[in-house]
Structure 1
Amino acid sequence: MDDVAEDPSTAPASPVAGAHRALLSEGAYVMPPAALSACLGVDEHDWAAFAAHWEDLAPDAYAAERGTRRLRRYGHFLLTRGGELTAQPHIAFVQPEDTNPLYVDRDRHFEPLTEAFLADPLLTPLLRMLGDVAACLDDAAEWSVKVHPFRVVASSGAEGAPTPEGRHRDGVTLVTSLLIGRENAAGGESTVYDPDGREVLTTTLAERGTLMLGDDRATLHGVSPIRPADPARPAHRDVLVTTLTAR
């Protein structure tokens, strides 16, 4: 039998290639859980183990000043083009000017990532994959990677605000939001906008492992508040926000 060469135009695109096309054309993309799991070589057992770290977050005193109950930690890495990942000293988190209007010129001090979180076998492949995605936006030799595990909590008398600053940019190259879990939570709709305010993408991250990606230079984003689906019980929404900035 003669060999038949595969037509590249009909070959299935890799999840990263699909993300590249969407980011360059629309500025945003949602990668489904199955595609992300395939990229990382993980299964539901790995996701469940990773999600356990969200039970060990610390209160966000800055969000509490505005009535939002939020738990979080923070870590900073450098990632080379070749995939070398290096943890950086733990210092205050500062966002660039003209990004987050709530915390202009304010150093925010958050608890560091735990040793268990840093050692989780899912983390390094995830950050390297995000570096591969970001490569379509900038030919950077090195990326500044900032990692924020968040839990936003709501009760019958108090909504939870994932983005109390409203529609905003983070002042980075690639901004990503990975859903880790939702418990009794309604709402939490994620929307990406172009600079003129047109909705580019709107979705509710509902399944663990769903990854939302955005070109932060060309878009803005925001998430609507969450509330308890059953008012008799509290609600929470867990995400991992990771940003990459070309150095």
Structure 2
Amino acid sequence: MRSLLEAYGSLADWPAFAASWETLEPDLYLANVGLHRRRRHAVFSAGHAGAITREAHQPHYQSRDYNTLQGGIERWFEPVLPEVADSQTLQTVLGFCQALFGELSPEVGQWQVEVHQFRIEARADEPGQPTPEGVHRDGVDYVLVLMVDRHNIASGTTTIHDAEARTLGSFTLRRPFDAALVDDRRVYHGVTPVQAEDTSAPSHRDVLVVTFRRM
């Protein structure tokens, strides 16, 4: 995956990009139901080719058709920091997605792009929930899930399902740059809970999620 990304730009600042997960803020919407997640969010716009532009900060919204746990409300998260949004690594990732998803859907002239930084924390007394809404679709066209870091974590297996909830396959993102590319219109996906391997030490699962939705 790293070599595929590097065809679209530099990853020279990856260490600083990965370190930015230490700046994520608690997801207060999930805290209301006793779950632990940290995140930041940003929205971009992209054409079939050319510049990818960051848009004004805005809420993340999913209907209850796609998110039965937290759908139907505007969720305001802390914004992705400017130095992360402008980083070589994120611009390279976005360029890769623009090219790949544009090739898959050449009829699309304009995309709404959402970027999510997620940190899932497993506690000594309870697992972390990467997808607390369960097996789901995101309500977009395409999704990239890119592993940034796993520390003191077991499980976290990605599962892919058809419209009748039959499992089509499963795999675990374990190393930086391991990735899942999802056609959200065709399949459902989920991630199993993560457990701390050593319950006396901190543990986390850090991923970057990028979604493309036709405008």
TM-score by length of 2: 0.94
Aligned to 2:179: 211
Aligned to 2:148: 180
Aligned to 1:30: none
- CA distance in 2 between counterparts of 1:219 and 1:137 reads 16
Greater helix content: 1
Show structure 1 runs of 5+ residues with no match.
1-32
Choose the corresponding residue for 2:28, options 46, 49, 61. Answer: 61
1:218-229 equivalence runs, <5 A: 218-229=186-197
- CA distance in 2 between counterparts of 1:34 and 1:110 reads 29
Show structure 2 runs of 5+ residues with no match.
none
1:62-211 equivalence runs, <5 A: 62-138=29-105, 139-211=107-179
Identity %: 37
TM-score by length of 1: 0.82
1:165 partner amino acid: E
- CA distance in 1 between counterparts of 2:71 and 2:178 reads 31
Choose the corresponding residue for 1:49, options 7, 10, 16. Answer: 16
- CA distance in 1 between counterparts of 2:203 and 2:15 reads 19
Shift of 1:175: 1.2
Shift of 1:228: 0.7
Greater strand content: 2
Shift of 1:189: 0.5
- CA distance in 2 between counterparts of 1:40 and 1:209 reads 15
1:187 partner amino acid: S
Aligned to 1:245: 213
Please report the RMSD computed on the Cα atoms of aligned residues, expressed in angstroms: 1.5
Q: Indicate how the Cα distance of structure 1 residues 117 and 34 shifts in structure 2: closer, same or farther if over 3 A, else same.
A: closer
User: Secondary structure of the equivalent of 1:83?
Assistant: coil
Shift of 1:204: 0.6
Larger radius of gyration: 1
